[in-house]
Every structure is written in structure tokens, then in C-alpha cells.
Chains A and B, each alone.
Chain A
Amino acid sequence: MILRTFGFSEFGFLLSALLWTVVLTIIALSGGGVVGFLIALARTSTQKWLRIAAATYIQIIQGIPVLMILFLSYYGLSLAGLQLPPLVAAGASMTIYASGYLAEIWRGCIQSVPKPQWEASESLAMTRAQQYRYVILPQALRISLPSTVGFAVQVVKNTSITSIIGFVELARAGQLINNATFQPFRVFIAVAMLYFVVCYPLSQLSRWLERRLHARSHH
């Protein structure tokens, strides 16, 4: 490659890579949201073995590096004979990662709905599924918003780790441009700024939701 300088077209390349960061984040949050939700339900189940299995899953995911989840799903999937594009491996591992954290966040939210709410709905002859659907989850959802948005910021940032297996998102795009331009400081500051532009508003939103939640529950 001929030596270039970091200019408009390079910045354009970063912007298009940012799109993949966003796509990966959305995959992680929706996939991890579904899996994490099921695990949060298992974690609050009346069945002891389900609770233990869910707690173990959460402890393991939260006790290992995201990078290892990434390598294990990358090599694990290829061992299973699946030659998958990096997007799938990246999406799968980000899903697993997000599920372990979202499950724990949401468990906390479900359990912070006061116990009398369970008793009152039970006494109205609701099934357990109806209690969740109509009484517990709507309240847990409101409580969960600030921390869920806060976690989304972590996911955006951690998608950068998928660059290590060669998935071309924002951080990887920065490396590629740096290899061509040898202007690391400029390039990576630009990369950092783009992450900041996505993450900062989310952080502020999370804080605003937190304040609103507090204001409502204390008046």
C-alpha cells in the first residue's frame, strides 16, 4: 500500500466501520437481551436447580474475559465444522457476553419489585406467568432502564475487542488506516472521538433515567 495521510476518505472509512460497531452492538443487545431475559427468569424461578444453573452461567460469564468468549466461540464454531464469517462469531460471542451481564442486571430489577406485589397478585388467583406478565415485569422494566442503557455503553466499547479476531469494526478500521498512514496518534484519537460520540449520549441518557427513577420513587 502506498503511504497516505489521514484525510477525508480515511475518516469516511472510519464512519462506515462505526456502522458495523453499531450493528454489532444491536446484535449483542437483542441476542443477549433474549438470552439474558430467559436466564434472569431462570435465576428468579421457584425451581432450585434452574436458579443454580442460571447463577453458575452468570458467574462464569462474569468471571472470564470477553476476549476468551470471543476466541472460544470463534474456534469452537470452526471445530463444529462451521466456517462462519467473523460477523457471526463476533455476534455470537457478544451475545453470550451481554446475556451474562443483562441476566444479572435484570435479576436485580425483578427482585427489587417488593415481595407484597407477588402476594397481592397471587391472592388474585393469577398464574405465575400472569404475575410476571402483568405485575412484576412492567415494574421491573421501569427500574431496569438506567442500568440497561448504562450497560449498552459497555457493549459499544467492548465490541472493539472483536477487532482482535479480524472483524472490521471501528477499532479494526483504525488499525488498518494506521497501517497505511503511520499517523497513529491522529488516527486513534479520531477513533476514540467516534466512540465517544456514540457512548457519551448513552451515558447521559442512563444518568437522566436514573435521576427520573429516583425522583419518582421518592416523592
Chain B
Amino acid sequence: MPEVIIENVHKSFGSVEVLKGVSLTVEPGEVIALIGRSGSGKSTLLRCINGLEKINSGRIEIAGHTVSADPKQLRELRRDVGIVFQSYNLFPHLSVGENIMLAPKIVKNIGKVQTRETAEKVLQLVGLSEKFDAYPDELSGGQQQRVAIARSLAMQPKVMLFDEVTSALDPELTEEVLNVMEQLARDGMTMILVTHEMSFARRVATKTIFMHQGKIWEEGPSKQLFGDPQTPELRQFVKSDVK
């Protein structure tokens, strides 16, 4: 059974239609890269998947939950779906450890000892064990983003969403974040990522989806899609990225 089912989703901001009927299924363990120009609707699609944006019509199912407007159902969904943002969005008043332990403690009511264990484990996974007691403003952008990933992982999600997580980072910091994501993919996490890192998409994503003008313009296994683009729009897009 697919982990994510997106069916004919439409979304408008005012009179501007940004998603014009998008359908997509994702199997467990798949890594999906969403690519396209800014304004193509890829970030909006990602935010619709965990209910941060409300869809106008269509249906989204993820990890056994249906996306709805009901806050309680949305909370159930978000226990199983993690999201990482471009701007990290760590809680600045909490230490790294507290950032990671907060949601498991108050949302899942998991005890102190166990949340601490989990926190240490996910921090080790992102390679920041020694930063447990540091505060976000003492970390580099790349480190903050890795903590944000760890914070999501501590909820033990079934699906992870990544919204242009390296766009705010310098190239050398980008690498350390991508490495963490690649490790996650290898460990079998179902992932959907909006990204500008074409080589990363090509190497890590099982499938790449090129969005254009609110629609899925072209999709396929990453190597095939990048190696032999079928539409002139994608050809243009891939070419402009190379330079």
C-alpha cells in the first residue's frame, strides 16, 4: 500500500491557482525529489501534504491519515509526518536538547529518560552529539538545520518532508546537511523533498518530479529524467541549472 496518495489536488491563493490538479503516489521507502522553477507550486504542494496550506479540492492521504481541516486529525497526521524548513525554525529560547525533546515529551507523553535517550540517538545520527546543551544561536546554519532534522526524527515519523532545506546555506554547509539526508534515505525513510540540488536529486531520489505552472510536467526515475528529459521545459530547466 502506498505511503502517500495525492489525488487531483487544486490550490489557489486568492485568484491565483498554484496547483492545478496534481496526482502522485509514493511507496514506502521511496525518495521523491520535487524540482521546478520558483512559483511552479512545488513548495506549496509540500506544505499541503502536512496541512500547513489548505487545499481547495482533491484528496491527500499520508501514513494512513487523510489531510483535513480538523485540527485534531491534523495533529494525528503530524505525529507521523515530519517537516524541515528552509529557515530551520529552531526554538531560540530552548537548548538543542530541549528543542528535540519538547514534542515527544508534551505531544506523545513519553517519559524523561526515554526522550533523552531518543534525543541523544537522533543527535548522534546527525553528528552533533556534543551540541546537546548548546543554544541555536551558537550554531552554524548547517548545524541548526541538522538539529531541525533531528528534532523531526525524534517524533519517529513515517514520512519526512524537506522544504528547500539547503537553500539558505553556503555550499560547504550544504554538504553536511545533504549527507544526513542521504543517510536517512539509505536507512529506508520515505522522503519528499523540494530541492534545487540537482546532483543530489539525481543521486539519491528514487523518483524526480518536475513541476511547471502548477502541474506535474514530467516525472520518472531520477537518472532517466535527468538523462533524457522529454519536454522542452525540463530540458531548458536542466540546462540552466548546469551553468
Contact = CB atoms under 8 A, between A and B. Distances in A.
A and B touch in the complex (CB under 8 A): yes
A142 interface: yes
B155 A124 contact: yes
A119 B52 contact: yes
A121 B91 CA distance: 9
Contact of B79 (A120, A125, A138): A125
Most buried by B among A116, A123, A142: A123
A139 interface: yes
A117 B79 contact: no
A123 B93 contact: no
A68 interface: no
B20 to A, nearest CB: 25
A126 interface: yes
Given A116-B87, A122-B78, A127-B75, A139 B93 contact: yes
Contacts of B91: 117, 120-121, 134-135, 139
Contact of B107 (A120, A124, A142): A124
Contacts of A125: 75-76, 78-79, 103, 107, 155
A126 B151 CA distance: 13
A126 B85 CA distance: 17
Nearest to A138: B93
Interface in B76-107: 76, 78-79, 82-83, 85, 87, 89-93, 102-103, 106-107
A62 interface: no
A130 interface: yes
A123 B83 contact: yes
Contacts of A127: 71, 75
A123 B50 contact: yes
A176 B90 CA distance: 58
Contacts of A124: 78, 102-103, 107, 151-152, 155
Nearest to B108: A125
Contact of B82 (A123, A138, A142): A123
Interface string A139-176: 10010000000000000000000000000000000000
Number of contact residues on B: which range applies?
20 to 34
Contact of B85 (A119, A128, A130, A134): A119
Given A122-B78, A139-B92, A139-B93, A134 B106 contact: yes
B106 A120 contact: no
A217 to B, nearest CB: 9
Contact of A123 (B52, B71, B137): B52
A27 B137 CA distance: 38
Nearest to A133: B106
A127 B78 CA distance: 11
Nearest to A46: B71
Given A126-B107, A138-B93, A142-B93, A120 B85 contact: yes
A96 to B, nearest CB: 32
A119 B107 CA distance: 15
A124 B79 CA distance: 7
Contacts of A219: 137
A124 B90 CA distance: 12
Contacts of A138: 93
A142 B92 CA distance: 11
B78 A130 contact: no
Contacts of A119: 52, 85, 89
Nearest to B103: A124
B89 A120 contact: yes
A142 B93 CA distance: 9
A122 B91 CA distance: 12
A164 B52 CA distance: 54
A101 to B, nearest CB: 25
Interface in A60-110: none
A135 to B, nearest CB: 6
Given A124-B102, A126-B107, 11 more contacts: A117-B89, A117-B91, A119-B52, A120-B91, A121-B91, A123-B50, A123-B52, A124-B152, A125-B107, A127-B71, A219-B137
21 contacts: A119-B85, A120-B90, A120-B91, A121-B91, A122-B52, A122-B78, A123-B50, A123-B52, A124-B78, A124-B152, A125-B75, A125-B76, A125-B107, A126-B103, A127-B71, A127-B75, A128-B71, A134-B102, A138-B93, A139-B91, A219-B137
